[in-house]
Amino acid sequence: MIRWKHVFGIVLIDTAVALVQPVMLVTIVQGVTWRQFVINLGFSFVYAQCIGSLAFATIPRIWVASCNTSTPARWAMRVAASFAVSIAGCMLAGLIFVMLGWSPLDAYWHQFTGSLKIATLLTIVTGGVISTFETMRARLEQTTLQLRTKELERERALKLATAAQLASLESRIHPHFLFNTLNSISSLIPEDPQRAERLVEQMAALLRFSLDASQSGLVPLSSELKIVNDYLEIERARFGDRLRYQVDISPGAADAKVPPLAVQTLVENSVKYAVAPCRTGGEILIAGSRENGLLQVEISDDGPSFNLESAPAGHGLDNLKGRLRTLFGERAGLTVERRENRNRVCLAVPQTGNGHESIPG
């Protein structure tokens, strides 16, 4: 599709260039008549439009295409392109002069050789200006696109974080969860009031962490595990000895950064599918280590096998996969494997040298 504004701009620039030679003629030569000025302007206008149009159509493309070559080859291509445009433009302009009757046919080659030198110089200068402008415009468009992409990624990350917060909060305040927790607390009050009070504090901490999740960015693994422990203790009051768990985190991994509620989501999945349905309960093992700039947290259970593709869209594991992909791209991962009759879910989060990873954007 022709961009007429762009074409009109090219014509205006070529017309401005065409004024240079007649103005110089009036300035340098005394006694120039209006007729001579108009004739020179006509010739200059035709030359400028022929050479300028070819220059605008070809030189910027060659200029950009040559950027990936060596310096000598790059400038050889650009100078050769400018010279070729000068030759083609002068030949085209000469033919127009002959067709308009401004110049006889037998004077075509003489006029061509006479105009080629100045046309080549003007083409190189004009082509350099045009190409520089086009290059700067292309870079500006690319930078603008990158900024817009980053902004969209940041907005998407915030939306996913908010969705995770709402999904997590929804599961926390689900009537069944609240009923079971409050029922456990009420049954403990006469027997073990201190534990009942501790459960209230743990539930409050869990709900508070859920509410603050979208504003927290990344959190230390130690803080995440504190919430995981609170969640497991609340559920343990319900399941008793049916819920068994162990946490084994290497010393160097405690200050590593993870998305809030990431580990808790995986642990909750184990409680829901490995512990709750089984009369004898189940065992959940949480292990974490940090090596080569990567934090790896593994949650394993002895429940039935499953795969990530079966996770319901927009909830739980699927939501966590989306958050990891948005925050870290291909650098983070979430994998599931079945080994020794246990499900092993591995969460991998990249870390910087000082243990702090930031959200892009």
Question: Which tens digits make up the pLDDT trace of 104-127?
Answer: 877 777 777 767 766 666 666 666
* Pair (137, 60) in one structural domain: yes
What is the dihedral angle through the alpha carbons of 200, 231, 317, 208, rounded to the nearest 10 degrees? 40
* Pair (218, 304) in one structural domain: yes
Q: Output the pLDDT for position 110.
A: 72
pLDDT in tens, 19-51: 555 555 455 556 666 676 676 667 777 777 777
Q: Output the pLDDT for position 138.
A: 74
* Pair (277, 137) in one structural domain: no
Q: How far is CA 15 from the centre of its chain?
A: 42
Regions of the chain with pLDDT less than 50 = 1-2, 25, 169-170, 172-173, 354-361
* Pair (121, 197) in one structural domain: no
Q: Output the pLDDT for position 210.
A: 72
Per the structure, the complete domain to which residue 261 belongs is given by 173-350
| Within-domain flag for 163 | no
Q: Output the pLDDT for position 346.
A: 94
φ, ψ at 258 (rounded to 5°): -140, 155
* Pair (300, 228) in one structural domain: yes
Q: Output the pLDDT for position 185.
A: 80
* Pair (257, 338) in one structural domain: yes
* Pair (211, 278) in one structural domain: yes
| Within-domain flag for 36 | yes
Q: Output the pLDDT for position 7.
A: 55
* Pair (215, 345) in one structural domain: yes
Q: What's the whole-model pTM score?
A: 0.51
Please give the sequence-ordered ranges of beta strands (E in DSSP) within the chain, or none if there are none: 219-220, 243-249, 257-258, 282-291, 294-301, 333-339, 342-350
Q: Output the pLDDT for position 286.
A: 96
* Pair (143, 183) in one structural domain: no
pLDDT in tens, 237-263: 888 899 999 999 998 899 999 988 889
| Within-domain flag for 209 | yes
Task: Give the H/E segment covering residue 254.
Answer: none
| Within-domain flag for 123 | yes
* Pair (9, 48) in one structural domain: yes
* Pair (49, 132) in one structural domain: yes
| Within-domain flag for 160 | no
